[in-house]
Structure 1
Amino acid sequence: MTSTLPQDLNMVTYTIPADRIALPDLVQFFSELETPALRTSELEAPGLVWVLTTLYAVTSPDQLVEALPLERRVNAAEGPGLILSHAEATETADSIWQLIDGEFLGYLRGADLTDETNLVVRIDAFDSGEWTVTVRPPLTMMSDAFDRTYRPARPGRPATRLEEFGPGRQTTI
C-alpha cells in the first residue's frame, strides 16, 4: 500500500518502520502536527476535520473512548467515513493504547470530505507494521522535532484505502 499517485497534491510522506513505533504513538503524531496557515494564535486548535475510514485498535481501560463501539461506528459510517472534529480525533488518539490498523484523513473545516484533493494530512497504520504520515505544506506540516526524527520525507502520498480498495472495502477482517 505504498504506491504514490501521480497527482501528489504537493504532499510529503514520512514512512515510519514498525520497529520505530513506540506505542502509543498516535497521540504524539497529533501533537506534532502543525497548521501554521490555519491559526491566528498558538493557543488556537487546528482547523481540521478528521475522517476515519478504518480502525482496529486497543484502547486503555481508563479512557472514555472504547475500541469496539468506535470500530463499529467507523464500519457503519456512510459516505467518506466517520467524521470527527479535531478535538474528538485527538481524544480518540489519546485513548488508543495500540493502533493495529487505521486510517485518519484530515481536511480543512468546510472542505468537501469526498474530494481527495482537499486532503491536507493523513495518518495510516497498517497491520501493526509500517506507518505513514502525509502532510501538505504549508497548510499542514510536522514539527521540527518530528522532522528530525523521521526524515527524510518523500514527495507524494501513498494511495488511500478508498483509492486502493474502493468504497466499503477498506476495512480489514
Structure 2
Amino acid sequence: MTTTVPSDLGMVTYRIPAARIVLPDLVQFFSELETPELETPELETPELHSPELVWVLTTLYAVTSSDKPVQALPLERRVDAAAEPGLILSHAEAMEIADSMRQLIDGEFLGYLPGSDLTDETNLVVRIDAFDSGEWTVTVRPPLTTMSDAFDRTHGPAQPGRPATRLEEFGPRQQTTNGTNAAPPAS
C-alpha cells in the first residue's frame, strides 16, 4: 500500500548559516525530529516521538571518521550509482551514516513516512540539505514532522514554505557530487 501525504499540509524551513553548523549536527538533526504518536486517540495532546522514516540520499560529499563503520568514498559511489529516486535507506542506516560523518560538505537527505511513494516529492515530510559547506536547510511538514523545542531555541523559528529541491533546481540526477555531474551526458 502506498501512502500519500495530504496536500493541504504546508512545509516550514529552518535556514542555518554555515557559521552555526558544528558537526555532528546531522545526528542532532535526526534526533530532534519529532512526529505525533498517531495511534493514541485517547490522548488530548498527542505524544511526540522520534520517527522511523525511510530516507533517500540523493547527493553526498562528505568526510567520515576513520574509526566509524561508514566510509565516505564508497558511500558517495553508492549514491552516485543509485537509480531514481536515490539511495534508499532505513532510518537506522541514515543514523549510522550521520554518526560516521566528521564533515558534511554537500548532501541531501529526503525523509518519507514508511509506505510513501518515494518518487513523488509531494510525499516528502523532511528534507535536510547541506549545500557546499554553506547554509543548511531543514524542512519539515507539520504536524507530520516537527523539530524539537530545543532545536527551535538553538536555530530560531521555522519560516513558512520550503526551498526548491535539487530535483526541481537541476532535474533528475543532474545534482552534482564531488564537482562532477551525477547524470550521464545528454546525447
Q: Same fold (TM over 0.5)?
A: yes
Computed over aligned residues only, the root mean square deviation of the Cα atoms, in angstroms, reads 2.1
2:24 is equivalent to residue 19 of structure 1: no
- How far the C-alpha of 1:105 sits from its partner, in A, is 0.2
Alpha-carbon distance in 2 for matches of 1:37, 1:120: 15
Percent of pairs identical after alignment?
A: 82
Query: Is 1:30 aligned to residue 35 of structure 2?
Result: no
1:10-159 map, 5 Å: 10-37=10-37, 46-159=51-164
Q: Check conservation: 1:35, 1:139, Cα contact below 8 A.
A: yes
One-letter amino acid of the structure 2 residue matched with residue 30 of structure 1: F
Describe the SS at the equivalent of 1:35: strand
- Of 170, 173, 183, which residue of structure 2 is paired with 1:168? 173
* Contact 1:9-1:156 within 8 A present in 2 as well: no
> How far 1:37 sits from its partner (Å)?
3.8
Q: Give the distance between the partners of 1:157 and 1:9, measured in 2 at CA.
A: 12
Between the aligned partners of 2:131 and 2:8, the Cα distance in structure 1 is 20
Deviation, structure 1 residue 152 = 2.3
Q: Quickly say closer, same or farther: Cα 1:38–1:95, change in 2 above 3 A.
A: farther
Write the letter of the residue equivalent to 1:13: T
> How many Å apart are 1:45 and its aligned residue?
5.7
Letter of the 2:53 counterpart? L
Distance apart, 1:79 and its partner CA: 1.0
Q: Which has the higher contact order (CA 8 A, sep 6+)?
A: 1
Q: 2:182: which partner in 1?
A: none
Instruction: Mark the structure with the bigger radius of gyration.
Output: 2
Inter-partner Cα distance in structure 2 for 1:22 and 1:45: 22
CA contact (8 A) 1:37 1:139 kept: no
> For 2:67 and 2:39, how far apart are their aligned partners in 1?
32
2:44 is matched with which residue? Answer: none
Structure 1: give runs of 5+ residues left out of the alignment: 1-6
Deviation at 1:75, TM superposition (A): 0.4
Structure 1: which 4+ aligned runs deviate by more than 6 Å?
A: none
Residues 61-103 of structure 1: CA deviation (Å, up to 9, x unaligned): 0100010000000000001000000010011100011000000
State the secondary structure of the residue aligned to 1:57.
Answer: strand
Query: Judging changes above 3 Å, is the alpha-carbon distance between structure 1 residues 27 and 38 closer, same or farther for their aligned structure 2 residues?
Result: farther
How many angstroms apart in 2 are the aligned matches of 1:99 and 1:60? Answer: 11
Shift of 1:24: 2.1
